[in-house]
């Protein structure tokens, strides 16, 4: 599970928190700090791709342990100034620290991904457990908004200590699921929907509860997606009710149940990712899922900030498509993936 945690923390904790900090507290792109934030996504993307192609040296056990322990120390050092103070858009040192944590997060994610790949591909149960732990970590933001960044330090340390997804019996042949098209679109919509409470609560750190509940929902969705008959009916029904309510009155988005259900819908959509065969050192195509999900969170912000514009308000209807897509796209395509699923 720890390899999955390391792999998934980048898209589901670090990147959302970066967006939350920048969106809630603002960014001044004429200030050096703002320019660092502008470069951050590019630097992380380039680093990610470099590590994918040239990071074989990281596969060595000693090297990966050393990188993870060093990363844990860097994360702790970089997080400390944020612990008791506000996210400051005009602090150059804070921007540098956030970038440093991002670099550690990319290293951790790549190491995690390599371990998952080495084990033959991702595992739905491990992924669900990882999402549950990430949910707990995210909820800690209620106490200290950015504490989830610090959580990367013990995660990396744990990764150095435990190599739990070391090669075991090769997982049987799996489908090379393409996580594309409609599914990507649905993840985009989930990003929009799940980010709405974050923009609603703003500086009130109770938004962390909703991020946590969303991730807990994802964990539940990944697990429950295996029990198709019950889940395939109940989830879209509930999620439809909630999303329609959200379209009429955005107050619905700050209902905890809403975050859980949309999270569950997302988990259901993501499940095929965790049943797919690893392709070229990349456990399924999370690389495609991540940018779409982050763009969704950003779009959610644009929607929330311009709620008064009628045309944009109508876009609140879009998330309704998640459950519908689930029914019409996901369910019929599942049997092939599901039936050939090996025992894990």
Partner 1 sequence: MRRALAVFTAFAAILWAALPLRFDVRGPRLGIPALLAPGEVFTTDLHLSHPGWRPALEARLERDGVSYPLELVGDHLAWNRLELDYRTPPDAPHGGYDLVLVDDSGVEHRRERSVHLLPPPAHDLRIVQLADLPTFGSGPPDGFGEGPGDAEMRQIVREINLIRPDYVLLSGDVAYVGGWFHYHKLHEHLLDLESPVICVLGNHEYKGLAGYLETMGAPRHVVDHGDLSFVSLNTGHGRDQLTASQFTWLERVMDERHDQRVIVQMHHPLFWKRKVFVRVDEMVELFADHEVPIVLSGHWHADNVFDEHGVSRTDGPDFPGTKYVTTTAAGAELHPDQSTAFESYHGYRVFELHGNQLGRYTYDGDGDGQPDTSSSHPAHRMLIEDLGDGGVRIASSWNEDLLGATVSLRSRRELVPDKGTLLRRRVQGDMILHEVRIDVPAGADFVVKLVEPRP
Burial 185-222 (b: 16+ CB within 10 A, else e): bbbbbbbbbbbbbbbbbeeebebbbbbbbbbbbbbbbb
Instruction: Tell which one of 19, 104, 148, 160 touches partner 1 (CB under 8 A).
Output: 160
Planar angle of CA 337, 13, 185, nearest 5 degrees: 45
Q: Quickly count: other Cβ atoms within 10 Å of residue 100's Cβ.
A: 16
Nearest approach in angstroms of CB 211 to partner 1 is 14
Which residues 8-47 are close enough to bind partner 1 by CB under 8 A?
24-26, 28
Give the contact letters, 198-227, x = binds to partner 1 (CB under 8 A), - = no. Answer: -xxxxxx-x---------------------
Nearest approach in angstroms of CB 269 to partner 1 is 26
Instruction: Tell which one of 158, 209, 287, 321 touches partner 1 (CB under 8 A).
Output: 158
Q: Across-strand partners of 106?
A: none
How many Å apart are CA 302 and CA 298, to the nearest integer? Answer: 6
Nearest approach in angstroms of CB 156 to partner 1 is 8
Closest CA to 271 of 115, 61, 125, 121: 125
* Secondary structure class of 283 (helix, strand, coil): strand
Answer yes or no whether residue 293 interacts with partner 1 by CB under 8 A. no
Answer yes or no whether residue 253 interacts with partner 1 by CB under 8 A. yes
Instruction: Tell which one of 39, 50, 154, 314 touches partner 1 (CB under 8 A).
Output: 154
Answer yes or no whether residue 65 interacts with partner 1 by CB under 8 A. yes
Instruction: Tell which one of 157, 190, 262, 270 touches partner 1 (CB under 8 A).
Output: 157
Pair 130, 6: CB distance under 8 Å: no
Q: Who contacts 162 (Cβ-Cβ below 8 Å, separation ≥6)?
A: 2
CA dihedral sign of residues 65, 12, 287, 176: positive
Answer yes or no whether residue 84 interacts with partner 1 by CB under 8 A. yes
Phi, psi (deg, nearest 5) at residue 282: -120, 115
Nearer to partner 1, 85 or 336 (CB): 85
Nearest approach in angstroms of CB 5 to partner 1 is 13
* Secondary structure class of 325 (helix, strand, coil): helix
Nearest approach in angstroms of CB 162 to partner 1 is 8
Nearer to partner 1, 260 or 325 (CB): 260
Distances (CA, A) of 212 to 258, 296, 318: 12, 17, 23
Which residues 85-104 are close enough to bind partner 1 by CB under 8 A?
85-91
Nearer to partner 1, 308 or 343 (CB): 308
Nearer to partner 1, 57 or 161 (CB): 161
Answer yes or no whether residue 73 interacts with partner 1 by CB under 8 A. yes
Instruction: Tell which one of 307, 321, 327, 337 touches partner 1 (CB under 8 A).
Output: 307
What number of chain residues touch partner 1 (CB under 8 A)?
Answer: 52
Nearer to partner 1, 101 or 289 (CB): 101
Nearest approach in angstroms of CB 65 to partner 1 is 5
Q: Quickly count: other Cβ atoms within 10 Å of residue 168's Cβ.
A: 10
Pair 199, 305: CB distance under 8 Å: yes
CA dihedral sign of residues 223, 315, 182, 179: negative
How many Å apart are CA 192 and CA 322, to the nearest integer? Answer: 11
Answer yes or no whether residue 150 interacts with partner 1 by CB under 8 A. yes
- Length reported for the chain: 344
CA 140 to chain centre: 16
Interface residues with partner 1 (CB under 8 A) are: 24-26, 28, 65, 68-69, 72-73, 75-77, 79-80, 83-91, 143-144, 150, 153-154, 156-158, 160-162, 197, 199-204, 206, 249-251, 253-254, 304-308
């Amino acid at each position: 599970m720890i390899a999955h945690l390391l792999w998934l923390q980048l898209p589901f904790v670090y990147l959302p928190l970066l967006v939350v900090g920048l969106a809630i507290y603002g960014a001044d792109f004429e200030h050096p700090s703002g320019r660092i934030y502008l470069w951050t996504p590019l630097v992380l993307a380039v680093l990610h791709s470099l590590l994918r192609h040239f990071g074989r040296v990281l596969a060595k056990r000693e090297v990966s342990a050393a990188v993870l322990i060093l990363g844990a120390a860097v994360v702790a050092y970089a997080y400390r100034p944020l612990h008791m103070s506000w996210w400051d858009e005009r602090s150059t040192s804070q921007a540098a620290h956030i970038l440093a944590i991002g670099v550690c997060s990319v290293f951790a994610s790549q190491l995690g991904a390599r371990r998952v790949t080495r084990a033959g591909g991702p595992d739905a149960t491990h992924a669900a457990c990882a999402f549950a732990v990430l949910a707990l970590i995210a909820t800690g933001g209620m106490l200290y908004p950015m504490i989830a960044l610090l959580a990367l330090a013990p995660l990396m340390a744990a990764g150095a200590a435990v190599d739990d997804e070391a090669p075991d019996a090769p997982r049987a042949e799996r489908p090379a699921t393409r996580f594309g098209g409609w599914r990507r679109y649905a993840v985009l919509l989930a990003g929009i929907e799940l980010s709405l409470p974050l923009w609603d609560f703003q500086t009130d750190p109770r938004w962390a509860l909703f991020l946590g509940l969303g991730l807990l929902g994802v964990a539940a969705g990944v697990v429950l997606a295996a029990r198709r008959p019950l889940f395939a009916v109940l989830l879209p029904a509930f999620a439809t009710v909630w999303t329609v309510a959200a379209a009429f009155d955005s107050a619905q988005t700050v209902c905890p149940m809403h975050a859980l259900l949309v999270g569950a819908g997302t988990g259901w959509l993501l499940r095929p990712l965790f049943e797919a065969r690893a392709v070229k050192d990349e456990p399924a195509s999370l690389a495609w899922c991540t940018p779409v999900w982050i763009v969704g969170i950003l779009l959610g912000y644009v929607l929330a900030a311009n709620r008064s514009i009628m045309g944009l308000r109508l876009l609140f209807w879009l998330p309704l498509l998640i459950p519908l897509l689930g029914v019409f796209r996901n369910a019929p395509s599942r049997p092939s993936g599901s039936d050939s699923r090996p025992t894990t």
